[in-house]
Amino acid sequence: MTLFHRRSVFAFVLGAMLAAAVLVGRSAFATTDTISACFKPSNGTLYLLGESSGRDVCQPGDIPISWNTSGVNGQDGVSVTSESLAPGEDEACPNGGSKFTAANDNISYACNGTNGQDGVDGVDGVDGVDGEDFAGTFTSPNGQYRLAVSDAGVLLERTAQPLAKVEITSGGVQIGGPSFGSLKLLPSGTTLDSPTTLTVHAQSLFSASGALTAIGGSPILLNGSGCGVLRGTDVNPIIGPTGGATLLNPNGSPTVRTTC
């Protein structure tokens, strides 16, 4: 066995024996401040000295050792109080924080940091590029609808049956189709044309007005002289001196037609 290895074993055994001796020594020497013992290098044993062991000195060749039964008393702890500081309340913490005071008047601080600097204003974005003028035709994926734009106007139409279209030009707006006629809103006038029967229906009052109204191509004056359509409550049942009907309410909605 090498010298280094033997020393390591010796230190390990000595440490273990000391730990065991501390427990035994405290019990055997509870009334003394020092515990005395001897270490026997020949077999690594440790034995105590004193009244309970019957030995007062170490045997020849053994190593005497001793240790105190108790350590040094530690210092008492220090009580600490704390208080919150508002900004400007204590010059040690201009932005506020906390103040800590120990029982021995030892004061320390934990201060709030200063406000950060305002960020730099962002840069305005670049204006978008104006779109280019457009003239051309869009057709739906199924090919049934088409939008055409040109300097002459705009045309929105259904190319499949039934045909329909909306056309906007400088002359006005036209809405129509061969199956239901055509509605024309032109500066010269508004017309509603139908190649077949045209029905106009209202759930309540249907009215028409104008200085001159034509039915079947012959102009008539509503609620006026000649042929007209009148309500019963608009006509006096007594024939007037000229032999014609006497109107009682020229502005009413007509329901009865007089003879021409």
pLDDT of residue 185: 74
Give residue limits of the domains in the chain.
Answer: 3-68, 146-193, 213-257
pTM: 0.34
Q: Which residues contact 98 (CB under 8 A, 6 or more apart)?
A: 82, 83, 84, 85, 109, 110
**How large is the average pLDDT for residues 135-146?**
93
pLDDT of residue 196: 74
User: Which residue has better confidence, 178 or 122?
Assistant: 122
pLDDT of residue 203: 85
Return d(Cα 173, Cα 168) in angstroms, integer.
5
Calculate the alpha carbon distances from 103 to 11, 69, 73, 92, 98 in Å. 46, 33, 20, 20, 17
User: Which residue has better confidence, 124 or 162?
Assistant: 124
Q: Take residue 215 and report the two structure tokens written for it.
A: 């039915």
pLDDT of 32 above 70: no
Q: Summarize pLDDT for 66-112 with one digit per residue, the tens.
A: 888 777 787 777 788 899 999 999 999 999 999 999 877 789 999 99
User: Which residue has better confidence, 254 or 59?
Assistant: 59
Q: Which residues contact 183 (CB under 8 A, 6 or more apart)?
A: 174, 175, 176, 190, 191, 192, 193
Which of 110-114, 125-129, 240-244 ranks highest by mean pLDDT? Answer: 110-114
